Each structure stands twice: as structure tokens, then as C-alpha cells.
Amino acid sequence: MQKIGVFVCHCGTNIAATVDVEAVAEAARHVPGVVYATDYTYMCSQSGQDLIKDAVKKYGLTGVVVCSCSPRMHEKTFRKAVNSVGMNPYLLEIANIREQCSWVHKDKEIGTQKAIALMKAAVAKAELDSPLTAGETPVVKRALVIGGGIAGMQTALDIADAGYDVDIVEKNPTIGGKMAQLDKTFPTLDCSSCIVTPKMVDVGQNEKIHIYSYSEVTDVKGFVGNFKVTIKRKARYVDETKCTGCGLCTEKCPMKKAPNEFNLGLNNRTAIYIPFAQAVPKVATIDPNYCLMLNKGVCGLCSKVCGAGAINYKDTDKEIEVEYGAIVAATGYEIMDVSKYDEYAYSQSPDVVTSLEYERLMNAAGPTGGELLRPSDHKRPKTIVFVQCVGSRECDSTRGGKPYCSKICCMYTAKHAMLTKDHYPDTDIYVFYIDVRTPGKNFDEFYRRAVEQYGVHYIKGAVGKVTPENGKLIVQASDLLMNEQLTINADMVVLAAAIEPSHSARHLATLLTASMDTNDWFTEAHPKLRPVESPTAGVFLSGVCQGPKDIPETVAQAGAAASKVIGLLSKDKLAGNPCVAHSDEMMCTGCSQCADVCPYGAITYVDKEFRMRDRTTKVRRVAQVNPAVCQGCGACTVTCPSGAMDLNGFSNSEIMAEVDALCR
């Protein structure tokens, strides 16, 4: 006979306000199998846990049901508590009477009835629970960081610092990311390159870090502690081990019409190129779309001038497979395409630019050598209009608009305005905003300096139309505070375009089985308590790939992700999840349906000999689950037509008992 204890939590008033907790405990006392039931204000507190532990000892409980919040919140807490007094942790059941009960009901009567039903279901399951023991798997002591921007670099450096090997996979020829393209950083106005390039050098020189630049992750297999990752090394046509980065090839290359990605296409580069002077690794890359040798079979100049003999026109993509214990996504962001926002005439006039393009126009290493000249006629703009929230905080998604705030635009626009005023005090600057959002250390002071000290005209209102006319940009706008229509004859218009997740992130999330929100930002395991972990064990999140962030926040999150990785890699063995599927070989018909639905590739088929009643043997094909790979999702158990597949801890009979209890 089972002896089950039921513990009903008030959660302050979270539960107790809409559920009569005493009535739930009283009802529990009348359920067959329950030998003890009580309620308490905070069951998760130390004294609440002690209450459970004492009852387990006093009544010799064989199962415990806690009626409280979601098991995602405190299942671990209570499992640990019962385990500390010698009970198998898998004999504990949670009835969630908060998220799916007290929080969604207003009527106490109904809430109480539902809580009682949920409690009964949990008791029914607890009666059938059997003790489970987790297996152990070894941990590969190497981490993979996907993305080599400031987030990925910081994560890699911190992991390497703890003594573990780290690989960075970066899709571009160099690490550095967006930060390498920035001129100055807010709110201190220190030079971005001066901060980021030494970091790039640190990463490049660190013995524990290996950079796979110009590479992509194409496949991920395995599970936490034991990932097997396929990395595609794209054909660079230059041998990385031989190239010295002297740059002679880039000087001699006759094909000079390839758009320069580093300057966002504002100028051109050669077909063989090093993205910028401080690139890491400082190795040339041939752009196969523009190289004359690769396309027309004539030229070969770079090969002739290369003293190191590094050029190889016959290079091909190569795939390598590497094992990792942990994976960090640090894929960052892109600037949204604003060409559908035609009212701003972005695609009609070269003098309408995005803020990142403006950044390059102000940068000493940019296409104009740091002198602010507008793209159309290379004249210095005297009047500049900045438009905030282009594509951000936008309900209309048909133009690619985003419902979220991109978070960094208010601050970088104030920065652009101030820097422009610093260099050219006679420039007239207008900033059109919906709201100015500047929470952050020294942020509001920074913005107010732009208004009060530099005399930047901040206007609350929207720009309705930009009309290119006779070399000017006529900006029609409304000033909402003055209730006036404005027309400004501007020389340049700068659009604070929304930021969006890297376009490769969605595919990567599929490979990692990591979840994403509707905007394609990676989802964290818990928005408050586990902000740098993905819900998939062993996959961590660093930087903007999880949501818009500025540089200090990105660096902080990168460090946090690294510390989680270090915590994982420092373990020699990982306790597995015992709630995995297993197949009853006598019932399995070998139909393959379970293997087809398994998202983790945990199911294989083997031919097995079975002894028949007449003492002959017969070979049958049956399913076998690799418990180390199985994540216990249960897809196979519901698919199996013969009922051979079952899940430990969530067996078919346990679930039926729950349903029975609910329906009674």
C-alpha cells in the first residue's frame, strides 16, 4: 500500500487568494493512499521544505505530491528536499495550481474545484511512480562559440581563461563583428576600434582559442556534454597557414569593383581582400563572385605576387567534425532592410543612409577617411535630419517592421548628433523621435548634453515624407508638441533602422533544437532566472542573438554565458535524465514510426533473435533507444501504434491514471 503525503502551498496570496488551500488539503485527506496532508504559506522556503522532510520521516511516505507553482519553477527544489531524507527524487509529483489554476481563474469556488482535481490527478500518478536512477555520461572539455563579434570573443576569452579549449566559428573572413565597424561608443565616446581590436588580437593569440573564420556550422548531433558539430570551412582560395597578411595581392588585384561589406557597400574593394587593417586572422580571402581567375580563367596576378605561395585557385569547401561539451550561440544582429520604407526615399537617394552607414562615413577608416561627406556629391552636409524608430515599435509587419524597441538607437543617434556638432559646429541637426529612451548608467546625461550643450533640435513627431529635389532632401514632418507641420530642406537624412537577428540564426536554432520567439531572437530557459541558457541543455546564449542590447550589456551577458559553460565543463560526468523512452521488444513491430518522429536521432533499429514457443528462433527488427541521446520528449510514445514505446516517469499507465482521476 502506498503512503502519500500532500503539501499545498499558498504562495503568499498568489494561490491562496483564488484557491481555498485548506479545502484542497482537506480533500486530499480523503483520497485513498494519502496518509498525510497539510498547507503552508511558502512551501519552497526552508521551513516549508523541512515540513515535507519531517513528514517523509515521520509517516514513512512512499510518495510526495506538492501542490504549488509550475514544475519548471521548483520541481528541482522539492526533488532535492525529498532526496535529502532518502527518498528517490522521482517519487515526487507537482500539481501546478498556480500558473494553470489560481492565476487564470477569478472565482474562488471554481479555482478550488480545479485545484482539487489537479491534486487528485497528481496523487494518482504518484501511486504508480517508481524510483528512477540517472545514468552518467562523460563531458567533452571543449566549447564551441558560434559568432565572433564582441559577444563571442568575450565568451571565448573567459572560457579560455578558465583553462578550457574554445573554438570560434565566424561566417565572415575576420572576427570583430559589428563593433569593429563603429566609430565611437556611447556614453563615453571612446574609440570603438581602440577597444575591440586589442580584444581581437587577444583572441587570435590565445593558445586555448582556435578561430574557424569564413566557416559555418552545418550540422549538430549529440547532447549536452557530447555534441558532434560539423563545421563547413568555405573555400577561401588562400592557404591560411601560409598567408602572412602582407596585403601585396590586394594592391595588385585588378578587379576593384566588388562592394566593400565592411563599409556597407559605400565604396569598393578588390576581389582578393583583407576586410580591414586590423582583421584577425589577418589572411586574404578571394571573393569568388568577382575574381577574374575563378570566373574567366584569366589573370592569376595574386598568385604571381604572393611570396608565400598561399594562393590556391582550386580550393574547395571542406567539412570537419569536432566534439564539444557546450555550445554558445553568439550570432548577433543585422540592420533591417529599410527599402520598403519608401516614404524616407532610402532607395531613391544615396544621401538617405542608415545609422550604421553614417557610422562608416564618420569613421577615420571609412570610405571618406573620417570626413563627413554625403555620398551623392561628396559635399559636406549642413543640415541633417535623423529619424528614429524606422521599423522599430511598428505594428505593420508587411514592410518588415518589428514590434520591439531596438534599444540602442536613441543613444547612438545622440552620439552621432554630438560627434557631428563636435567636428562641424555649424551643422544644423534635427532628431525626430517617438520617445527618447535612455535608461542606463550616464545615458540620460549623455542625451541631455546633446540637447542642452550642443543645441541639437529634438522634435517629438514623425517624418511623413522625404522628397529628393534639386540636390536637397525635402523633409515633411510634424511637430506634435507644437502641433505644427514642418518642412526642412536637408542635405542628408539618417535612418535609425531597426536591428533584427542574424539571418543565419533561424537555421542554427533548428540545428541546435534551441527555441526562438516570434521575432527570431533566441529564447532563454527562464526570462529572469536563467537568462543566458537556452531551454536545450548545453546550449547557451551570448549577446544580441537573445534580444537587443548595447555593448556593456552584451559583454556582461557574454561573461555570464562563459561562466555557465565553465560550470558545465568543470564536471567530469553529467547525470543524465532518467525520464527517457524505452521500447518493449516483445510488442515492437519494427515499423520505424518512432525513429521518424524522434527529433534527437535517439532511436535505432537492431535485428534481434527471439525464441518462439515451439523452441525455434526468429529474427525480428526492433527499436532501441539510446538513453544518453533521448531527451524524454515523448513524441515516440504517442506515435507508437502498438504501444511498445514507453517513457520513464511519464508512462502510459501513469498518464491514463491521471486522466482517470481528472474524469472521476
Partner 1 sequence: MVYNYFPGCTLKEKAKDLDIWGRRCAEALGVPLTEIPEWQCCGGVYPLSKDEIAIRLSSVRALIYARDNGGTLVTLCSACHNVLKQTNFDIADDENFSLKVNNYIAADGQEYHGETKVLHYLELLRDVVGYDNVKAAVKKPLTGQKIGAYYGCLLLRPGKKMAMDNPENPRIMEDLLAAIGATPVVYAQRNECCGGYLTLEDSTLPEKRVKRILENAKAQGADTLITACPLCFYNLKKYADGTGVEVRYLTDVLAEALGVKEEG
Which residues here bind partner 1, judged by CB under 8 A? 340-343, 345, 347-348, 396, 398, 465-470, 474
User: Which is nearer to partner 1, 45 or 347 (by Cβ)?
Assistant: 347
User: Which is nearer to partner 1, 88 or 467 (by Cβ)?
Assistant: 467
The DSSP bridge pattern shows strands 581-583 and 645-647 to be: antiparallel
Shortest distance (Å) from residue 106 CB to partner 1: 25
Shortest distance (Å) from residue 499 CB to partner 1: 22
* Alpha carbon 88 to chain centroid, angstroms: 35
User: Which is nearer to partner 1, 467 or 563 (by Cβ)?
Assistant: 467
- The conformation of residue 163, written as its DSSP 8-state character, comes to T
CA-CA-CA-CA torsion for 640, 644, 645, 651, nearest 10 degrees?
120
Query: DSSP characters for 38-84?
Result: EEES-TTSHHHHHHHHHHHHHHT-SEEEEEES-HHHHHHHHHHHHHT
- CA atoms within a 13 Å half-sphere pointing along the CA-CB vector of 607: 3
Shortest distance (Å) from residue 343 CB to partner 1: 5
**How far apart (Å, rounded) are the C-alpha atoms in residues 366 and 371?**
9
User: Which is nearer to partner 1, 82 or 488 (by Cβ)?
Assistant: 488
Q: Which three cell numbers stand for residue 518?
A: 516570434
Cα dist from 587 to 167, 300, 615, 633, whole Å: 45, 66, 19, 21
Residues 193, 180 contacting (CB under 8 angstroms) = yes
Shortest distance (Å) from residue 192 CB to partner 1: 34
3-state SS record for 350-407 = CCEEEHHHHHHHHCCCCCCCCCCCCCCCCCCCCEEEEEEEECCCCCCHHHCCCCCCCC
**How far apart (Å, rounded) are the C-alpha atoms in residues 631 and 600?**
8
Grouping H, G, I as helix, E, B as strand and the rest as coil, residue 7 is strand
**How far apart (Å, rounded) are the C-alpha atoms in residues 146 and 237?**
23
User: Which is nearer to partner 1, 403 or 641 (by Cβ)?
Assistant: 403
Cβ contacts of residue 68 below 8 Å, gap of 6+? 7, 8, 9, 11, 15, 43, 44, 74, 78, 94, 95, 96, 97, 98
Nearest CA among 124, 55, 128, 54 for reference residue 91? 128
Shortest distance (Å) from residue 20 CB to partner 1: 38
User: Which is nearer to partner 1, 183 or 394 (by Cβ)?
Assistant: 394
Shortest distance (Å) from residue 341 CB to partner 1: 7
User: Which is nearer to partner 1, 323 or 343 (by Cβ)?
Assistant: 343
Shortest distance (Å) from residue 467 CB to partner 1: 4
Shortest distance (Å) from residue 411 CB to partner 1: 28
Shortest distance (Å) from residue 488 CB to partner 1: 14
Shortest distance (Å) from residue 208 CB to partner 1: 52
Shortest distance (Å) from residue 261 CB to partner 1: 26
User: Which is nearer to partner 1, 398 or 483 (by Cβ)?
Assistant: 398
User: Which is nearer to partner 1, 83 or 348 (by Cβ)?
Assistant: 348
Shortest distance (Å) from residue 385 CB to partner 1: 15
Grouping H, G, I as helix, E, B as strand and the rest as coil, residue 262 is helix
Shortest distance (Å) from residue 368 CB to partner 1: 27
User: Which is nearer to partner 1, 293 or 352 (by Cβ)?
Assistant: 352
User: Which is nearer to partner 1, 466 or 622 (by Cβ)?
Assistant: 466
Nearest CA among 437, 432, 434 for reference residue 408? 437
**How far apart (Å, rounded) are the C-alpha atoms in residues 536 and 547?**
18
Q: What sign for the dihedral angle of Cα 489, 337, 281, 512?
A: positive
Nearest CA among 478, 481, 372, 482 for reference residue 427? 372
User: Which is nearer to partner 1, 399 or 608 (by Cβ)?
Assistant: 399
Cα dist from 138 to 573, 575, 578, 631, whole Å: 4, 9, 16, 17
User: Which is nearer to partner 1, 167 or 491 (by Cβ)?
Assistant: 491
